[in-house]
């Protein structure tokens, strides 16, 4: 007669908890992304300007500086910086062994969420115009340069590349890590919005304040909808509206 033998239960693999970068790690990668944005955007646009102008910066520095101040080169810098900045975020997410789309909440929103987000953005535009100090119309024009081509580059950089890059970094990557840290969602919304306003150094302090409020609204929408694509769409639409509100362009 065979004796029965107790057998150990089969060993099952323990499901690993998906890793989310903590506060300091998220901050570290965000700083690297900002460095990539600064280096590739600024130096990249400068190199292209130098090449296209045939070394004009050496023979006539004043004329070169005047060309560099044209807004089309700002658009060029944004277009160049977008893939490198997002590339840093992608590398950080892959290092955490997470899916890029899932980590950044790249989910398409519902029609109701779109309508609510656009209504909030419209309210922000109305309030920022109504409550800002009145400035008499200026006779000066926004110097873009490059005729229609320069205007298109500025539109592409400021209204497509910039919103994608900024939303992926601020409302996507930074909010994801900070909201799951000691800050919690509310603290992450406030901190990312402060940094979002400070990041826009081309504006005065009042302009940065309104951008901070815009960041609060967008990050809250991102949190409630779990969709960074929603904030990308609204951000891009707002930039397009402000683009055509500004001017005239030459």
pTM of the model: 0.86
With both helix axes pointing from N to C terminus, report the angle between 71-95 and 23-38 in degrees, rounded to the nearest 10: 150
Residue (of 152, 142, 131, 104) closest to 207 by Cα position = 131
Q: At what angle do helices 71-95 and 44-52 cross, to 10 degrees?
A: 140
Cβ–Cβ < 8 Å for 93, 104: yes
| Residue 118: φ, ψ to 5° | -70, -35
In this prediction, residue 4 has a pLDDT band, given cuts at 50, 70 and 90, of very low
Contact by Cβ (8 Å): 194, 105: no
CA distance 88 to 106: 17
Domain ranges of the chain: 23-129+141-245
Mean pLDDT score, 62-79:
72
Average pLDDT of the chain to the nearest whole number: 85
pLDDT of residue 83: 95
Contact 43, 126 (CB under 8 A): no
Q: Is the pLDDT of residue 16 over 80?
A: no
CA distance 202 to 219: 22
Calpha distance 187→175 (Å, rounded): 9
pLDDT tens for 38-65 read 999 887 777 776 666 665 555 556 655 5
Interval 103-158: pLDDT, tens: 999 999 999 999 999 999 999 999 999 988 756 555 456 666 666 777 888 899 99
Reduce the secondary structure of 171-219 to three states and give it as a string.
HHHHHHHHHCCCCHHHHHHHHHHHHHHHHCCCCCHHHHHHHHHHHHHHH
Cα of first residue to Cα of last residue in the chain, in angstroms, is 99
Comparing 137-151, 159-173, 224-238, the range with the smallest average pLDDT is 137-151
């Amino acid at each position: 007669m065979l004796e029965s033998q107790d057998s150990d239960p089969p060993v099952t693999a323990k499901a690993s908890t998906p890793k989310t970068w903590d506060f300091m790690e998220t901050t570290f990668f965000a700083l690297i992304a900002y460095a990539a944005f600064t280096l590739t955007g600024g130096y990249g646009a400068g190199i292209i300007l130098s090449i296209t102008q045939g070394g004009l910066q050496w023979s006539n520095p004043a004329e070169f500086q005047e060309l560099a101040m044209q807004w089309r080169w700002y658009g060029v810098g944004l277009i160049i910086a977008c893939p490198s900045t997002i590339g840093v975020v992608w590398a950080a997410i892959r290092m955490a062994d997470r899916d890029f789309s899932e980590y950044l909440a790249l989910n398409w929103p519902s029609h109701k969420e779109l309508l609510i987000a656009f209504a909030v953005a419209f309210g922000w535009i109305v309030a920022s115009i109504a409550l800002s100090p009145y400035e008499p119309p200026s006779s000066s024009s926004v110097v873009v340069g490059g005729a229609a081509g320069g205007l298109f580059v500025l539109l592409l950089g400021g209204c497509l590349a910039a919103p994608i890059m900024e939303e992926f970094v601020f409302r996507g990557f930074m909010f994801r890590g900070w909201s799951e840290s000691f800050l919690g969602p509310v603290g992450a919304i406030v901190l990312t919005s402060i940094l979002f306003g400070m990041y826009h150094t081309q504006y005065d302090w009042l302009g940065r304040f309104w951008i901070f409020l815009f960041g609060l609204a967008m990050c809250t929408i991102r949190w409630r909808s779990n969709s960074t694509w929603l904030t990308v769409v609204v951000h891009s639409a707002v930039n397009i509206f402000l683009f055509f509100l500004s001017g005239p362009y030459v």
